[in-house]
Copies of this chain bind each other. A is one copy, B any other.
Amino acid sequence: MTLANRPTILTGDRTTGPLHLGHYIGSLRARVQLQHEARQFLLLADTQALTDNVGRHQKVTENVIEVALDYLAVGIDPAKSTILIQSQVPELAELSQYLLNLVTVARLERNPTIKDEIRLRGFERDIPAGFLTYPVSQAADITAFQATHVPVGDDQLPMIEQTNELVRRFNNIVDRQVLVECEAVLSPVTRLPGIDGKAKMSKSLGNAITLGATADEITRAVNNMYTDPKHLRVSDPGQVEGNVVFAFLDAFEPDAAQVDELKAQYRRGGLGDSVVKRVLNERLQSLLEPIRARRREYEDDRAEVLAILRSGTARAREVAGATLSEVKRALGLTYFEA
């Protein structure tokens, strides 16, 4: 991604739980960097979270603040990035509604991301309509903020394709360039595994280290990390591949040479799990200590957090409102304008 022309980034999280180290590596760290170079909108996606959390709205709404705290804790600067609450920007629902006419049900059902997610959630034929159509809402989010770049995992590429299809379709119908196509920015980092060695770190799987974890929780999590089950004695040669401790060192230890050295020693034999875990624990403690401290500060000043969200949401409404006005003007839905 070239940042020469100050691109606009749209990204965010479903508000279903506090964020964890997987989010930090996968997206948050990059966002903290990008906010200096790009116009960045961070979406607290409560509306989207509701599409597959019917009946669990309390969980969704309570976590809006939690995720906001995580953003602020890792160093998202509300003066540089716009943090907004999706449900408080009604322009997004309105834009969604117009885009919904431009895609067929069959096309939505063919979306590979949606197919996977439907299978994961066990929806089968009982797919909530709001869930099947959420890629359209996502396209509305992206286009409302005229995002030029959207950071995604490779499993999310079909969402970007879908968005750009809608953009082209809309512009074609109104015969002018109203909506802007976007580009996927693939995350360069591989996915962080859970501490149990499962492919994905996830709060609901209980294998995550959250950003607000206490020092004890971090130590306990590191001690419980899945390593090489065949590496029984310190003198045995150990395996680095699939070893969660090394996956974490790769992700969090900036001194790559030191990590390589540890790996070599571990492979040869003579390096105990407890030693490597101690190295990782120190690294994570020093990473998370200031994050936790900042998180606590904001936790104690909820009014300030709400003020940040209110002001970010207001800014977001201006931008989304301008796009929506263009969309409605292009469709002729401007009866009351002079």
Contacts and interface: CB of A to CB of B under 8 A. Distances in A.
Contact of A133 (B100, B104, B331): B100
State how many copies of this chain the complex holds: 2
Nearest to A307: B336
A156 interface: no
Interface stretch (A33-41, A56-64, A204-212, A260-268): A56-64
Given A88-B335, A335-B306, A98 B58 contact: no
A217 to B, nearest CB: 28
Interface residues of A, number: 54
A69 to B, nearest CB: 13
Given A93-B93, A129-B132, A310-B336, 16 more contacts: A51-B100, A51-B101, A54-B173, A61-B331, A61-B332, A62-B332, A88-B333, A101-B128, A101-B130, A102-B128, A102-B130, A104-B125, A104-B127, A104-B129, A105-B125, A106-B125
Interface of A: 46-47, 50-51, 54-55, 57-58, 60-62, 64-65, 85, 87-88, 90-91, 93-94, 96-98, 100-106, 108, 125-133, 136-137, 173-174, 306, 309-310, 313, 328, 331-333, 335-336
